[in-house]
Amino acid sequence: MIPQIFSWGQLQISQETMQAILAYHQIFPPFLRIMAQFGPKIRQELPGCNPFHSYRHTETNGTNDTEEMLPKHHNFEIAYTLQFMEKNNRNRGDPWSLRQTGIYQQTTSGNHQSTWIFLHMSQSARMVLEKAIREHLMCLVGSHSPMTFHGLLIEATMSNWVEYVQNLDAQLRNLDEKACFAKIGAMRRNDYCVSCSDIQKLQKLKQKILTTSLALRSCLDVAIKLREQTCTLEEFENTTKSSTVRGILHTYCASIRKHQQSTKMMIERLQGTFDLLSNIIQYRSIEDLRSISKASEKHMEFLNEVTMRIRNDNQASAVVVSKTHQDAKTMKALTITATSLFPASLIATIFSSSLVQVKQDSDSGGQSTRLVVADQFWIYVVITLAATMITLGCTRLLQH
């Protein structure tokens, strides 16, 4: 058994040791292609299209040029990759992972003693192997077929396919329920939330189903080739010791074909779910755009009304400003006129009052006159200056 630390890591064996094993047992070259599938990886790869290789040697007279000639101490060699699903026990992401086991068998003619090489055997298959060794199942030479081990390993990986396909169907059923029962149009309060993330989930699920379909086809090819090898061995040895193995392989093939039919139906259902979810998202997007467009139209109407009001207010303000400007011009003209006439008015007022009087000169015999200022004239000057100062002071105070 050659293990891996993890499923995408290197095989835990040195190159020199592996070369020594290959040379000592004269292992046929196709096994190297099986080993190449267990190198380091950075992403999940699709299952190979040719997972099974076998060579058989029979005694011939050398007249059959088409028959594969191998060393005479070999009866047959088998090498294949067996795909299976296994729980990865991770706390996040998909709980299932696609695993593979590489199996090589070399059976010596006559005594049916076999040499086995296992690459990265699953835990369940390892337990089956250890139990078989403890019970000396393979040690009873002549009582069991050399193909018995293959039946046990196939049977150990069969049950997980049922649970995994059911898990895929449950994921698709949840998304399909959302697509079938989501309300058309805008999302309501208790409605299903349909978004682009559901489309992404469908795409991821589709990739898983397609990968599962390829893995199932690979498993079916391996089982069919093993069944053919078993029948050939029984015919060659004229024995029915492999009937149990044939029964296991027949059941395994029927189970794999059932899973293939399930994945095929899931792909068809998934496409319908994908189309329906896409249409719902598209329709809701159109409805949302329509609602946004209506809201934008109402908002534009409101803005137009506000603009018209502002325009009317501006026009009214312009009329008021124009009228105020005209009134200011009129007031300015009146002020200038009043200011220009103020000295004359002041003089006329003073001369018409008793503060300044015209008296005849007694020395000239009444022929000439003169102006006489009253004794109270200083009161007028003082009061006028005080009133002027008070007026100017009030004006300055109002300005501040």
121-151 residue pLDDT tens: 888 888 887 887 777 554 544 556 788 888 8
The model's confidence at residue 306, banded by pLDDT at 50, 70 and 90, is very high
Task: Please report, rounded to a whole number, the percentage of residues in the chain having pLDDT higher than 90.
Answer: 28
Question: Which carries the bigger pLDDT value, residue 79 or residue 185?
Answer: 79
Mean pLDDT of 160-177: 93
pLDDT digits (tens, 9 = 90+) for 259-293: 999 999 999 999 999 999 888 888 888 888 888 99
Question: Which carries the bigger pLDDT value, residue 122 or residue 20?
Answer: 20
pTM of the model: 0.69
Rounded to an integer, what distance in angstroms lies between the CA atom of residue 154 and that of residue 84? 9
Q: Is 366 a residue whose pLDDT tops 60?
A: no
The model's confidence at residue 49, banded by pLDDT at 50, 70 and 90, is low
* Beta carbons of 157 and 120 less than 8 angstroms apart: no
Q: What pLDDT does residue 282 have?
A: 87
The model's confidence at residue 57, banded by pLDDT at 50, 70 and 90, is low
Least confident of 39-48, 68-77, 116-125, 347-356: 68-77
Mean pLDDT of 96-106: 91
Q: What pLDDT does residue 204 have?
A: 93
Cβ count within 10 A of residue 202: 21
Q: What pLDDT does residue 392 have?
A: 79
Q: What pLDDT does residue 240 have?
A: 63
Q: Is 65 a residue whose pLDDT tops 70?
A: no
Q: Is 244 a residue whose pLDDT tops 90?
A: no
Least confident of 143-147, 198-202, 360-364: 360-364
The model's confidence at residue 245, banded by pLDDT at 50, 70 and 90, is confident
Tokens read off for 142: 């002549």
Chain center to CA of 260: 29
Q: Is 5 a residue whose pLDDT tops 50?
A: yes
Q: Provide the residue ranges of all domains of the chain, joining segments of one domain with +.
A: 15-291, 360-400
Least confident of 124-133, 151-160, 256-265, 355-364: 355-364
Mean pLDDT of 313-337: 87
The model's confidence at residue 81, banded by pLDDT at 50, 70 and 90, is very high
**Distances, alpha carbon 314 to alpha carbons 119, 320, 387, in Å:** 89, 10, 43
**Mean confidence (pLDDT) of the chain:** 82
Q: Is 189 a residue whose pLDDT tops 80?
A: no
Give residues with Cβ within 8 angstroms of 151, minimum separation 6.
Answer: 244, 245, 248, 249
Mean pLDDT of 222-230: 92
Cβ count within 10 A of residue 269: 16
Helix, strand, coil in percent for the chain, rounding step 5? 60, 10, 30
Question: Of the segments 92-96, 175-179, 201-205, 230-234, which one has the largest average pLDDT value?
Answer: 201-205
Rounded to an integer, what distance in angstroms lies between the CA atom of residue 214 and that of residue 206? 12
To the nearest 10 degrees (0 to 180), the angle between helices 158-181 and 148-156 is 30
In this structure, are strands 76-87 and 114-119 parallel, antiparallel, or unpaired? Answer: unpaired
The model's confidence at residue 66, banded by pLDDT at 50, 70 and 90, is very low
Q: What is the CA radius of gyration of the chain?
A: 55
Rounded to an integer, what distance in angstroms lies between the CA atom of residue 278 and that of residue 16? 56
Q: What pLDDT does residue 79 have?
A: 94
In this structure, are strands 114-119 and 356-360 parallel, antiparallel, or unpaired? Answer: unpaired
The model's confidence at residue 191, banded by pLDDT at 50, 70 and 90, is confident
H-helix or E-strand spanning residue 75: none
For 274-301, b/e burial (b = at least 16 CB within 10 A) is: bebbbebbeebeeeeeeeeeeeeeeeee
